[in-house]
């Protein structure tokens, strides 16, 4: 079941950012905060209804993790939207994608004490370069 949620989150997050970019390009960029609030509230409501229907509710630790993930995702979308109002999307999306890749890798090393070998480092570098080349 968790694989379905990961796939849904992947497409939903991508759709959210593409829709915000379209909103900005259409001249309605001053409504982006309202759009983001509605988008994330609908996600919360959908999750709550799913838990209510299946009668499985998260415990305290899972709730805290979910709230932290939701707030950080919202803030990331907000900051990316603010960047899109000032910088072209062809620059913002690769930097954000590469930044996420580098940040997650660094946090894995610092928090979870993961060991990055030469292949891991080369993978991060080539992934970041690939994101930049795709958007050029």
At 2 the pLDDT is 66
Q: In the Cβ-directed half-sphere of 35, how many Cα atoms lie within 13 Å?
A: 18
3-state DSSP assignment of residue 78: helix
Query: Which residue blocks in 1-136 are alpha helix, DSSP H?
Result: 2-25, 32-54, 60-86, 89-112, 118-135
Entry pTM: 0.68
Over residues 89-107, the pLDDT tens digits come to 888 877 887 787 788 888 8
């Amino acid at each position: 079941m968790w694989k379905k949620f990961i796939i849904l989150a992947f497409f939903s997050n991508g759709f959210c950012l593409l829709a915000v970019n379209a909103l900005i390009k259409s001249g309605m960029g001053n409504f982006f905060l309202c759009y983001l609030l509605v988008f994330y509230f609908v996600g919360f409501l959908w999750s709550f209804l799913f838990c209510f229907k299946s009668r499985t509710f998260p415990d305290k630790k899972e709730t805290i993790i979910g709230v932290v993930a939701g707030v950080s995702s919202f803030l990331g979308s907000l900051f990316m939207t603010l960047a899109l109002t000032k910088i072209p999307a062809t620059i913002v999306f690769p930097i954000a994608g590469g930044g996420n890749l580098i940040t997650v890798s660094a946090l894995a090393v610092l928090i979870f004490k993961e060991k990055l070998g030469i292949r891991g480092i080369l993978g991060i570098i080539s992934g970041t370069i690939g994101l930049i080349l795709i958007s050029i």
